[in-house]
Amino acid sequence: MFLAGISIRRHSLVIISQRLLGLNLSHAEISNANGELTAAVEGWCPRDLSQSPQEDLRYLFVDEVTFDIRLASSVEKVPVLVAVAVTTAGHKLVRLLC
């Protein structure tokens, strides 16, 4: 929700977490979770796919998705290229987000 541009200052995330999840999250907890999520994504994106376990891929779907992202004081539409592979066993693997 934070990454989608919902403001912490307007208490939106606090209210949504209470109503949807039944959790009373503080602004600090939301900010910390966002930091952890950002670090995980930044570590995942540049990974070396040539070293990942080789599986038999049946399909590779590549498409663009547009997200509304809060940048500074405004919300901008940001295009993201997504590649999802499907193995012969039917497992779906996100291979790329950029």
* CA distance to 5, 55, 80, 82, 83, per residue, from 98 (Å): 18, 22, 5, 7, 9
Residue 18, pLDDT above cutoff 80: no
The model carries a pTM of 0.53
Residue 72, pLDDT above cutoff 70: yes
* Per-residue confidence (pLDDT) for residue 23, from 0 to 100: 78
Structure tokens, 1: 């929700």
**Given pLDDT bands bounded at 50, 70 and 90, which one contains residue 61?**
very high
Question: Distance (Å, rounded) from C-alpha 64 to C-alpha 68?
Answer: 13
Asked whether 18 and 24 are in contact (CB, 8 A), the reply is yes
Asked whether 3 and 69 are in contact (CB, 8 A), the reply is yes
